[in-house]
A and B are shown apart, each in its own frame.
Chain A
């Protein structure tokens, strides 16, 4: 199983770029990497997903090196409202509970 490891917490200031790295040394060939954001008392929300290289959408970028043993979620110019828990999940596209299993995530706190 591709177990993931993330920092427990990170602090940042408004307007800074934040990079959260997830290690997944045992990632399988058919595994995707997905990041979710969760605010208190709400369900997680999909942020971005990738398989290799770089993916960018309107809220974040995902960098995946060639060996795919880690990935980095990049949040540009964070604001106070980006304070949340961020989860990295790794698993195949379907038919497995691995992409359904959330770890402890990274608590990002954005300071004024």
Chain B
């Protein structure tokens, strides 16, 4: 238990569907992140939020839409996805954005497995 909870753990959706991934952190952190990990590939940083404001957006297609209503919750809204978007989506948090340094470790959730059919 890392203090970062993701739901659902598994999601199958059609290319025309709209769904959302949810992340909640119970650590009192100010920063939250979305990562994508495709099979046998490194983690790709998608979005960075600090105090509910988006800090980084690494050229992610608009079919992925993040939302951070408060510093404890982060959503990833999905619409008109492609089969190549099938991957493990990981949420993470840290005290301040950027990770690293004493007391600013990144904590990851268990991930949400997404399959686009």
Interface residue ranges, A against B (CB under 8 Å): 31-32, 34, 36, 41-46, 49, 89, 91-105
Q: State A102–B4 Cα separation when bound (angstroms).
A: 19
* A/B interface sample: 29 pairs, CB < 8 A: A32-B100, A34-B99, A36-B106, A42-B110, A42-B111, A43-B4, A43-B108, A44-B43, A45-B2, A46-B105, A49-B101, A49-B105, A91-B99, A92-B98, A92-B101, A93-B96, A93-B98, A93-B101, A93-B104, A94-B95, A94-B96, A95-B96, A97-B98, A98-B100, A99-B98, A99-B100, A100-B48, A100-B99, A102-B42
Number of A-B residue pairs at CB separation under 8 A:
86
Determine the chain A residues whose CB is within 8 A of the CB of B4 once the complex forms: 43
Most A CB contacts (10 A, CB to CB) among B4, B108, B111, B113 go to: B108
Determine whether the beta carbon of B99 is less than 8 Å from that of A45: no
Tell me whether B88 and A41 are in contact (CB under 8 A): yes
Contact between B106 and A94 (Cβ–Cβ < 8 Å)? no
- Main secondary structure on chain B at its contact with chain A? loop
CA distance A15 to B32 in the complex (A): 38
Known: A100-B33, A100-B48. A34 touches B100 (CB 8 A): yes
Known: A95-B97, A99-B98. A43 touches B45 (CB 8 A): no
8 new A-B contacts, CB < 8 A, other than A31-B100, A99-B106, are A34-B100, A36-B106, A43-B4, A43-B111, A44-B43, A92-B100, A94-B104, A100-B33
- Which among B56, B100, B101, B111 has the highest number of chain A CB atoms within 10 Å? B100
Known: A97-B48, A103-B42. A43 touches B98 (CB 8 A): no
Question: Across the interface, do B45 and A101 meet the contact criterion of CB distance under 8 Å?
Answer: yes
For residues 46 through 61 of chain B, which have their beta carbon under 8 Å from a beta carbon of chain A? 48, 56
CB distance from B9 to the nearest CB of A (A): 10
Which of these, B33, B42, B111, contacts A41 with CB under 8 Å?
B111
